[in-house]
Amino acid sequence: MATATRTPTEAPLPSRAPAPRPPRSALAVRVRRAVRYLGPNWYATVMGTAILASAGAELTGRLPGLRPWWVAIWSLSLVVLVLLAAARFLHWRHHRDRALVHLDDPATAPFYGCLSMALLAVGGGAVGVGRDVLGEGVAVGLGLLLFVVGTAVGLVVAVGVPYRLIVGRGAVRVTPVWLLVVVAPVVSAATGPLFVPHLPAGAGETLLFGSFALLGVGLLGTLVLLPSVFAGLVADGPPAPALTPTLFLVLGPLGQSTTALGRLADAAPAVTGPGLADGFGVLAVLYGVPVMGFALLWLALATALVVRARRRGMRFSMTWWAFTFPVGTCVTGAAALADRTGWGAYEVVAALLGAGLAAAWTVVAARTVLELAHGRLLAPPR
């Protein structure tokens, strides 16, 4: 009997092991770990930087020779926005568990409003300051894009975050941080009029009245929340030292709504009849004067409570960025009233607040860079 022979072509093929995955670079691993605890509150760095540039531009005529500095500050805000957006994308991709925890946390979820306001602050600054480096056409295009996206995000946050917290958590104590949910539409209302002169008449009129409607969304939401914020202070006393800077957030809707009405009044004559244009001008003064007065009162109260907290051991944290954007809105609000009323007192208020804003941003930005370099700001929460 012949023995069967196996030809070489019939030899069994060796099993192919899967190709080894290329090792991750040490830098990629470090970046992935670093963004695990990067929350939406970090967009406050963009807001505070962009408002410094915009407020400085408002005061350019009062402080000549500083415009190149404001252009550099705005450019920095754009760079930080791009870097943060990339880092937050990595956070959602690799640490979705933490991102979902942030959405369900009443102390963190309202900070998603900061994303909207960061986009809007940089977009508005593109028209007022960024055109010096981008050119007017590119600056207006970029600003409009950021305005549309920021406004859409702000409206989603204004509805989605309260709904998710109310349904998921039941009773939640209202703190000043909750104002971040509703103030974004007010920022949209203050940004939209900047683009009216660059649009056709019909589109400009639509944007003007749309911005006015957004002002109502944010302002009425603020009026609903403010009594609860003040009642909480009276009933429970001052917040913990680390959270005391959040009291400055109350200034945001006050200063920004004053700014918004001033800009709406400036843009109205180009797209409406003289009657409506005059009405916007009168409303800007009748609303802005008393609201700015209350803003200065609240600024004094919040400053006193911050000094008290500092004496009781308040250390640096990301809440210190509340000393920047809200104060900046009061700078632009006071400047708008100075231009519309001609009253010199508002010139003084705008200049003093602007100096305070610049000092606060310098300190907070420097401390942020220092703490970030030491790895303390992105460390796991304790």
Mean pLDDT across the stretch 187-213?
95
Residues above pLDDT 70, as percent of the chain: 91
pTM: 0.90
Position 147 scores a pLDDT of: 98
Compute the CA torsion angle 248, 253, 254, 258 (nearest 10 deg). Answer: 140
Q: How confident is the model at residue 5 (pLDDT cuts 50, 70, 90)?
A: very low
Is the pLDDT score of 105 beyond 90? Answer: no
> Over 50: is that where the pLDDT of 361 sits?
yes
CA 54 from centroid of its chain's CA atoms:
13
Q: What is the CA radius of gyration of the chain?
A: 25
Instruction: Return mean pLDDT, the chain.
Output: 89
Measured between alpha carbons, how far is 46 from 49 in angstroms, rounded to an integer? 5
Segment among 40-54, 268-282, 297-311 with least mean pLDDT? 268-282
**12 vs 246, which has greater pLDDT?**
246
Q: Is 293 helix (H, G, I), strand (E, B) or coil?
A: helix
3-state secondary structure of 314: coil
pLDDT of residue 18: 53
Whether pLDDT at 110 is above 70: yes
Element (H, E) at 321: none
Q: Place 26 in a pLDDT band, splitting at 50, 70 and 90.
A: confident
First and final CA of the chain: distance in angstroms?
82
* Residue 40 DSSP label: G
The yes-or-no verdict on residue 157 having pLDDT over 50 is yes
Average pLDDT for 272-295: 94
CB 63 within 8 A of CB 340: no
- pLDDT value, residue 169: 59
Q: Is 265 within 8 Å of 292 (Cβ atoms)?
A: no
Report yes or no: 195 and 254 within 8 Å, Cβ to Cβ: no
Query: What pLDDT band is residue 382 in, cutting at 50, 70 and 90?
Result: low
CB atoms within 10 A of CB 166: 12
Q: What is the mean pLDDT of residues 34-47?
A: 92
The upper half-sphere exposure of residue 38, i.e. CA atoms within 13 Å in the direction of its Cβ, equals 24
